[in-house]
Amino acid sequence: MELFSPEFFSALLAIIMIDLVLAGDNAIVIGLAARNLPKHMQKKVIIWGTVGAIAIRAIATVLVVWLLKIPGLLVVGGVLLLWVAYKLLIEDKEHNVESGSNFWAAIRTIIIADALMGLDNVLAVAGAAHGSFLLVILGLLISIPIVVWGSTIILKFVERYPIIITIGAAVLAWTASKMIVGEPFLKPYFANPGIKYGFEILMIAIVLGLGAFVKSKRKSTEKQAA
């Protein structure tokens, strides 16, 4: 692909659109992971978590050709991401101790979740780049401010509207289900749109249902203890 040609800019525009659509999910998980930390730690967690996540994503992009050959990769990533969505949903601020370990735990959550969720982003960007390493790098650089800015905004809204936590978990569960149905060897089973979308809705319902049940049971236990 010729540098600065119409094809180059059209591919770059496609990558920017991919980042806008897919990086929003990553911004949500960063915002949710940092929400229980003290104010002075939140910005540090967002910055360092994003740096670590982008580093992992850069490595994944370099290895994308090899990653595509691993059967079952999307299924494993999707299942692990479902667990991350569930954990973020049931986290209770009252059960967290404001210590240094929470800072690193939040960063670890961000990096792991972004590595899993970033798989879609990496594959999409690599495909849109058509083999251009420069476009891949530009795509990664573009995603950084999107994720950092988005997660900062989400943190502010989470404090005022806790329902965003539930919405965020639903988005993560939906992303995970899309990864699973996108697995090449499973595609024949999800060829029917009704089955495909039904599965995605089911995964979201299971995560939100389990989260609501655990939180309800926890509150009941706390009332009995009081």
Tens digit of pLDDT for each residue in 153-207? 766 777 677 787 788 788 778 878 887 888 888 889 999 999 999 999 999 999 9
Tokens 């040609």 sit at which residue?
5
Does 155 map to a domain? yes
- Which residue range forms the structural domain that includes residue 133? 6-220
Indicate if the pLDDT at residue 128 is higher than 70: no
Does the residue 104 lie in any domain?
yes
Mean pLDDT of 102-126: 70
- Measured torsion, CA atoms of residues 131, 137, 138, 142, in degrees rounded to the nearest 10: 130
Position 225 in a domain? no
Specify the 3-state DSSP secondary structure of 158: helix
85 occurs within a structural domain: yes
Total number of domains constituting the chain: 1
pLDDT range class, residue 92, cuts 50, 70, 90 = low
In a domain, 43, yes or no: yes
Residue 76, in any domain of the structure: yes
Q: What is the pTM of this model?
A: 0.60
Does residue 226 fall inside a structural domain? no
| CB-based burial, 49-86: b 16+ in 10 Å, e otherwise | bbebbbebbbebbeebeebeeeeebbbebbebbbebbb
> Is 70 exceeded by the pLDDT of residue 41?
yes
Q: Across all residues in the chain, what is the average pLDDT? A: 75
H/E element holding 90? helix 73-90
In a domain? residue 156: yes
**pLDDT(143) > 60:** yes
